Amino acid sequence: MKKQHYLIPHHFDGESKDLEYSTELKNVAEAEDLFVDAKERLWLVNEWSKIATGLNVQLHLADNHGKLVNRRARPGDHIRLNFNGSEVPTAAPDFDWVIIEAIEYDDYPDENRETFALRLRPAFNPAGNQEAMPEPPKEEATSTLVITRNLSTVRSTYHGRNEIEKTASNDNTPFNNPWLGLTEEQWELLLQTFIEPL
């Protein structure tokens, strides 16, 4: 059994999901280069919608006040998810928000291994009126993205924990398997894109 990254929370309620993609490089040097590229792709949230063709959601990095920014992600930043494709929302539900709770790089030279991980959690709009929200986000739910280089193998993994299936408010119909706003297929596309060789 593979050792779980320490940023992945314990699962105790609802659904859990683990997805994985890996690529084997010719040698360690090539794997190190790809890991650097993959780490940068994960760091640059504003590029996710551009590099993952067919993602069909606009992702924007915002600071802890909700102001959109163009830089590497930092702990405490937010990600705004826009599902209608426009810059101006037509209704409040068009935007979902998650907070970047943790970002960690670790190097294990004795094992010739390194990791870069980012953990997300549901959040209110940091610039909005929280009292006007219909219901608070389920704070136990998390999504953790991990890029790992082990010798000449580079791997990207997704770990969803404690996600409760959401339903439409009008008829209690379940939404399409959301994991912090994205479907399993959308997370899979991102995982593949992060470790795609240039």
The two three-digit tokens of residue 151, written as one number: 């010798």
Q: What is the pLDDT tens value at each position of the chain, 198 positions in all?
A: 467 899 999 888 888 999 999 999 999 999 999 999 999 999 999 999 999 999 999 999 999 999 999 999 999 999 999 876 545 444 444 588 999 999 999 999 999 999 999 999 998 888 876 544 445 455 689 999 999 999 999 999 999 999 876 544 444 443 344 678 899 999 999 999 999 997
Q: What is the pTM of this model?
A: 0.86
Q: Burial letters for 104-121: b for 16+ Cβ neighbours within 10 Å, e otherwise?
A: eeeeeeeeeebbbbbbbb
Calpha distance 89→160 (Å, rounded): 27
Calpha distance 61→77 (Å, rounded): 7
Q: Which amino acid makes up residue 164?
A: I
